[in-house]
Amino acid sequence: MAISASYHLWITKCDIMSDKRQRARVQGSWAKPLPRPSGQTASVPNNNQSKSVNPGPASWGFRPQKIPQTFEFHQPIKPVRDVPPEKVIEQAGDYEISHGPSGISRLRLLPGFLPPEQADWMFSKLLAELPWSQKTNYKHGESYQEPRLTCWYGELPYTYSQSTMAANTQWHPLLLTLREAVEQMTECSFNSLLCNLYRDGHDSISWHSDNEVSLGAKPTIASLSLGDTRVFSLRKQPPPEENGDYTYMEQIRVPLSHGTLLLMLGATQDDWQHQVAKEYHDRGPRINLTFRNIYPEPEAHRPGTKLQFTAKRP
Ligand SMILES: O=C(O)CCC(=O)C(=O)O
């Protein structure tokens, strides 16, 4: 009985130690065994039982009589750090999501930018008529297929993840109409468009920032969503002392529904990453149009270089 209680405590301790976040909260050590009340003897195996049939944990070097019986909790040495709760943005409006280190990062959300009936026929037309294809990217010299389909419009090529989308000036007429509508609303102009097609919930785009040198400093990106709703997530870039660990960084989720326009402004590409994660329940197809500006890259510059280090998209 004494053995199994101690063993249970030992397992519990291992479970706790395996969780990095809890490790900061629970710090303690095994205490010395409690003194045995006088008259009580250590549990001795019954001599009638065979010693060899089940030698018990002692045969693994696990000596029950040396296992302490209690666990002492000490004050945590490191201060407890809370993981910030994820914020949700779903109402129309302008949001300052952070100040510094590179400036103010802002989002503007406009659900219903396109009325549903218009969004319906535009979605069907773009799904059927755009030249969708699956891009091959490279990471550490290995090639992989992007988990979504894309197409590119702009006078200049666009390079990311060590693979280039060729310049394409053959804008679909509907895309020109949409670009004009987005430009009117945002009072910005855009010379390029990256179209993403998520065929179902398994298609995704992983954590990245749109911060290639060719996009210029502090790019404004206008993202128009059509089709099924998907969650667009943002996470704050960690400061250098976090060594690339995002555990304690702020996160925001923005559900992007049919006809919604989202603007990313200011320092958002410097100080935040974004993604559309895979989902494990049914999702219909979704098209995302990201209007942006592309500039010629400096001579002798390697295309696709990031302004600062961030995780690459797949
Ligand atoms: O599909 C989306 O909403 C995001 C697309 C995106 O992150 C990108 O094109 O860089």
CATH of the domain at 91: 2.60.120.590
Q: How many CA atoms lie within 13 A of 36 on its CB side?
A: 10
- Same domain? For 5 and 147 the reply is no
In a domain, residue 229? The reply is yes
Q: Is the same domain home to 120 and 67?
A: no
pLDDT at 297: 80
Query: Which tokens in the block code for residue 303?
Result: 């295309």
Ligand 1 centroid to 275 CA: how many Å?
Answer: 7
- Who's near 31: CB < 8 A, 6+ residues apart? 68, 69, 70, 71, 72
Whether 200 maps to a domain, the answer reads yes
Residue of 152, 197, 223, 229 best suited for mutating to test ligand 1, as the one with most atoms within 8 Å of CB = 223
Does residue 63 sit within a domain? yes
**In a domain? residue 266:** yes
Do residues 24 and 153 both lie within one domain? Answer: no
Q: Which two three-digit tokens encode residue 89?
A: 């943005």
Answer whether 146 contacts ligand 1 (Cβ < 6 A): no
Beta carbon of 276 within 6 Å of any ligand 1 atom = yes
CB 132, CB 286: distance < 8 Å: no
Nearest atom (ligand 1) to Cα of 274: 7
Quick one: pLDDT at residue 307?
60
Structural domain ending residue among the three candidates 74, 106, 137? 74
Contact present, 203 and 289 (Cβ < 8 Å): no
On whether both 134 and 8 belong to a single domain, the answer is: no
Partner residues linked to 28 by β-bridges: 73
Q: What is the atom index within ligand 1 of the atom nearest the CA of 194?
A: 9
Is the beta carbon of 210 within 6 A of some atom in ligand 1? yes
258 lines ligand 1 (CB under 6 A): no
Task: For residues 69 and 122, state if they share a domain.
Answer: no
Query: Do the domain assignments include residue 178?
Result: yes
| Separation CA 264–CA 60 (nearest Å) | 59
Least Cα distance to 276 among 165, 159, 131, 147 occurs for: 147
Whether 149 lines ligand 1, by a CB cut-off of 6 Å, is: no
- Does 44 map to a domain? no
Within-domain flag for 311:
no
- Check pocket membership of 220 for ligand 1, CB cut-off 6 A: no
How many angstroms does the Cα of residue 302 sit away from the middle of ligand 1? 23
Residue 61: its pLDDT value, please? 43
Cα 205 to averaged position of ligand 1 atoms, centre (Å): 7
Q: Please work out whether the CB of residue 288 comes within 6 Å of at least one atom of ligand 1.
A: yes
Q: How far apart are the first and last CA of the chain?
A: 53
**Residues of the chain falling short of pLDDT 50:** 1-31, 33-34, 37-62, 309-314
Identity of the amino acid at 289: L
Q: How many domains are contained in the chain? A: 2
Beta strands in the chain (DSSP E): 28-30, 71-73, 87-88, 93-99, 104-110, 136-139, 142-145, 149-153, 158-160, 163-165, 192-198, 205-208, 221-227, 230-236, 251-256, 261-266, 272-276, 286-292
Cα angle 242-244-250, degrees, rounded to a multiple of 5: 75
26: containing domain = 1-34+57-74
Same domain, 1 and 127: no
Same domain for 66 and 113: no
Alpha carbon nearest to ligand 1 atom 8, residue: 290
Cα-Cα-Cα-Cα dihedral sign, residues 293, 294, 296, 302: positive
* pLDDT at residue number 299: 65
